[in-house]
Structure 1
């Protein structure tokens, strides 16, 4: 603990906020029975620890305070996770202890400084702390933040967090940050082409009662594989029916609501439906644009549904979907 003292004398003992992304189970472990664990962490570390509201598969834990209180809070979380790992191992046959893993949520504008020129900073952190550090290549959905995953022994993680805090204080975020907010677990259900889909993350996944039907379909189209090896959550990935193409024409004045600003809406529809969607260039003298959708019949019907939903909301003035 020597160097915290040195750092606080060096004027680094300022208030900072660190955000962590956790799964429900991890959050449960931090909160503890009747909130006892988190209460103890708040009291002993002196840091403010806030946990985003429930019913999301992921939650954000925000730790705010002078740097030394943040390090204490982090240490308590890392040791608590290690304790959970040890407890879960006593019930299993695993012999090697998996590392503790924490996920920080960091504004993308600060990630460059964390990585350093040619990866020099992140390499130095890995070597000096012994922790594994990875910065996600993509931003978290609907935000300008990235996940930074740190794994290793609690001691290595604490050292690594200290170094990350130093970098974050030396290079504050540039511009406005759109914070990542986990989506609630209640997923909307979409009906398309006689099938029900739920939206999970960026994918439309056939609704549970549809899974079995789709699974049977997938099974008929592939050489038989033992059930254990297929992935029912994404049926037909290993056995996608032949791709087909469907064409639509859309009035020119409505094409904008489907494309969205800088292509955001059309990209969303592409991701959700899993279909390829090409929009033809405007033809002189024609008041319509051709849209070509390619993919499996299920992908196409979902893409059509999403396009129609966009049009309906535009025409009826319902605003965005």
Structure 2
């Protein structure tokens, strides 16, 4: 992919909750003012097909505001550069979620209609789950066009995240031990995708992680 289709290479933010000073999330050209990541907060970048974005935002931003009030996390659909022109089926947008890692709360997840389990999560974890649930709802109501959040078989869905390349090693762990542990504990398939072309909304040094 051409270099000018990526984010500018401004990598001043961190996904670590241990950094001591506020950091800046890089923004696309012509986008709104960048957000800051305060201490004990993290930034998650989730991919969402452009056809799902309107259903996530809601009329006059009503749904995304509700998600913000529900989780206390900042949630924003990032802009694409004006120069990017792709067929609608190929366009992905980044859902930027910034939330606290320290606010503990209870979250009930339903593995099936009759099987629910309660988990203790942070504010940012709850926000990621709530946003993903909403995208799934929109996808279920759509016409089934290609999307990054897609139903592969009944009950199985996939979510793709953009992760800075320097952080991927921590996800994988020495000899792949960390990612294997996460797979075992979560029951999910987790992999770093070996893709020659990242979506236009990615930064030049991003990797794509699929859960």
Instruction: Give me the TM-score of the superposition, normalised by structure 2.
Output: 0.55
Cα distance, 1:69–1:30 mapped onto 2, change above 3 Å: same
1:16 to 42, 47, 70: 42
Distance 2:186 2:55 in 1: 26
Q: Which of 74, 80, 99 is matched with 1:65 structurally? A: 99
Q: Residue 32 of structure 1 corresponds to which residue in structure 2?
A: 58
2:174 counterpart of 1:117: yes
For structure 1, list consecutive stretches of 5 or more residues without a partner in the other structure: 1-7, 151-321
1:161-310 to structure 2, matched below 5 A, reads none
For the pair shown, the structure with the greater C-alpha radius of gyration is: 1
1:41 aligns with 2:61: no
Q: Secondary structure at the match of 1:132?
A: coil
Counterpart for residue 162 of structure 2: 105
Q: Is contact 2:78-2:93 (8 Å) kept?
A: yes
2:190 alignment partner, SS class: strand
Aligned to 1:134: 191
Aligned counterparts of 1:61 and 1:85: Cα–Cα separation in 2:
15
> 1:75 and 2:129 equivalent?
yes
Equivalent position of 2:117 in the other structure: none
More strand as a share of residues: 2
Is 1:53 the counterpart of 2:79 in the alignment?
yes
How many Å apart are 1:58 and its aligned residue? 1.8
Distance change in 2, residues 1:85/1:52 (3 Å): closer
Contact residue 161 and residue 210 of structure 2 kept, 8 A: yes
For 1:168, the equivalent position in structure 2 comes to: none
Following superposition, the deviation at residue 99 of structure 1 comes to: 2.4
| Cα offset, 1:22, TM superposition | 1.7
Q: How many residues align?
A: 135
| Structure showing greater relative contact order (alpha-carbon pairs closer than 8 Å, 6 or more residues apart) | 2
Where does the alignment leave 5 or more consecutive residues of structure 2 unmatched? 1-16, 18-38, 85-90, 102-121, 144-150
Mark the CA change 1:21 to 1:87 in structure 2 (over 3 Å): closer, same or farther.
Answer: closer
- 8 A Cα contact 1:81 1:100, kept in partner: no
Identify if the C-alpha distance between structure 1 residues 24 and 119 changes in structure 2 by more than 3 Å, giving closer, same or farther: same
Structure 1 residue 138: Cα displacement: 4.3
Q: CA deviation at 1:14?
A: 1.5
Q: What whole-Å deviation, never above 9, does each CA across 1:83-109 have from its counterpart, x for those lacking one?
A: 3354459xxxx9x52523221111111
Return the alpha-carbon distance in structure 2 between the equivalents of residues 143 and 21 of structure 1: 16
SS in 2 for 1:127: helix
Contact 1:86 1:97 in 2 (8 A): no
